[in-house]
Amino acid sequence: MDHDQDCPGLLPEPPTAELQLACVLHALADPIRLRIVSELADAGGDELNCLAFELPVTKSTMTHHFRVLREAGLIRQHRRGTSKMNTLRAEDLAARFPGLLDAVLAAAGCPARH
C-alpha cells in the first residue's frame, strides 16, 4: 500500500511499483543495514525509533544507513517530534518481490518471521 507522500512527517520513499531489485539488494548487502532490517522484521510491524538500534557506528553513519534503506524502499520513516520512527515495508516488498525478504533474512541466519 503506497502512503500519501504529503503526510506530515513522512520522509520520501519510492512507491511499491517503483521498487527496484538492484537497489533493494544493494541496501541489504551491508551487514549494518541487514541488521536494521532484521530487527525491524523481529518487531513485527511495530515502529522503532532510530535510537532503539544499538549499532557499532557513529550517529552520522547510522543516519546514512537508514537513508539508504528508506530510499531503496525497505523501510518507511516518519518524524514524531524530534525522533525518526521506522517500520519495515514488508507488505510492499512481498507484493513487489514475493519471498525475497524472507529468503534474505533466512540466508543471513536471521530468525524466521511469522
pLDDT, mean over the chain: 87
Yes or no: say if 59 and 88 are a contact pair by the CB < 8 Å rule. no
User: What confidence score (pLDDT) does residue 5 get?
Assistant: 43
Q: Cell 537513508 sits at which residue?
A: 67
Closest CA to 71 of 33, 32, 110, 113: 33
CA distance 114 to 79: 28
Residue 45 has pLDDT above 90, yes or no: no
Average confidence (pLDDT) over 64-85: 93
Q: How far is CA 98 from the centre of its chain?
A: 16
Average confidence (pLDDT) over 7-19: 79
Question: Hey, how many other C-beta atoms are within 10 angstroms of the C-beta on 78?
Answer: 17
Coil/strand/helix, residue 1: coil
- Going across the sheet that includes 48-49, the strands are 48-49, 83-88, 75-80
CA distance 65 to 44: 20
Residue 34 has pLDDT above 60, yes or no: yes
